Structure 1
Amino acid sequence: MMQQHLRTDPGVENPIQELQINTMNVMDILHKESDFVKMRNIVQLEENIRKLMESQNTRVQEVINTLTQTLNTAENYSHMKTLMEEHEEKMRILKREMDDLNFSVSNYEGRLSEVETEIQEAMQKFEALRQEEQEIQHNIENWIERDKNLNLLYNFVAPVEWDMSSGGKLCSLTSTKDSTCICLNFEEMDQESIHEFLFDQLNDHAVHI
């Protein structure tokens, strides 16, 4: 390039002057090349700056994305924390309800045991009353039978003949009307009670033992 700009002025015959002119041309060329290099460096610098800016923009975008993800994660964590707190509160409420239910069940079981005891006592009382009723019914039947015997005895007088083969529980009476003989059964009474019965109830009817 420098050779292209070096020239000899045909109007200059002085070699020194020509050298001076060539030197000026060379300086001019160098100056121009220096400007060119500067421009090229500037352009390169601008390109580097542009690439750096793009790289920084990319990095900034990555940082923004990371921050966004972090914020989203924080929001999700906050939401999950809220859900966990709500869940824990529900679990505490459920536990209280279960404790109350267990307490109620315990009370119910205790009351049920008391009721079962009361039922057993009532059944025992009922059984005792039933036995008492049976005894009363049995006594009534005995008194009815005794009353029948008494009515029969009113129509009969002595002598009273006891059948000792049956343990003295059968007696024969003879009717005063037609001299018929009947047999009375005192199986439900002992000998002493039979005597007392006859003495107490039939003493005025001439029944003699």
Structure 2
Amino acid sequence: QPRLLPDRFTITIIPVANPDGLARVVGHAGRFTPDEVSDVTAPGRFNANDVDLNRNWDCNWSPTARWRDVTVSGGRAPFSEPETLVLRDYITAAQPAVVVFWHSAAPGVFAAGCDEPDAASVALARAYAQGAGYPFASAFTAYTVTGDAGDWLAARGIPSITVELNNRRDTDWAQNLAGVHALLAELAQ
């Protein structure tokens, strides 16, 4: 729906930042359908070096990190992985007004912030959550997260939010489209 996008905005979608992880859960590289996704999606978090790419960013980074109740690798150093380097460099060059990450599945919208919630991220997360009908949280508190991409972005003045989808199979298109519209309206103010 490009006509709904204000002229001063551009939306860039990066559908896959971890091709190794994608291949692990669908069994091949390239395009896939939801029916091809394995019921076991946890291996998709890791690249070919078995690093959790969302623990490899330079915000409270640690070589040993957590994902749920599992110990995972944050890599040898922040940005030690080619995937995070490419994303960091792309985002740094693009200087987006906001970055939205869609994950699954813990329904809610979470604001980013390296040591404490970032005010701009909180406002955008709240707007998205209200528009989409998701629960809102100013921070993710279920467990300690280190090396998170969104938190790194917020620390650099780029607001970021994470949308946790309702489940691993559905995009909840109408719900998330409403959230994107609300986010754009908030940005336009």
Shorter-chain TM-score bucket reads under 0.3
Choose between structure 1 and 2 for higher RCO, CA contacts under 8 A separated by at least 6 residues.
2
Q: Of Structure 1 and Structure 2, which has the larger fraction of its residues in strand?
A: 2
Higher helix share: 1
After TM superposition, the score normalised by the length of structure 2 is: 0.19
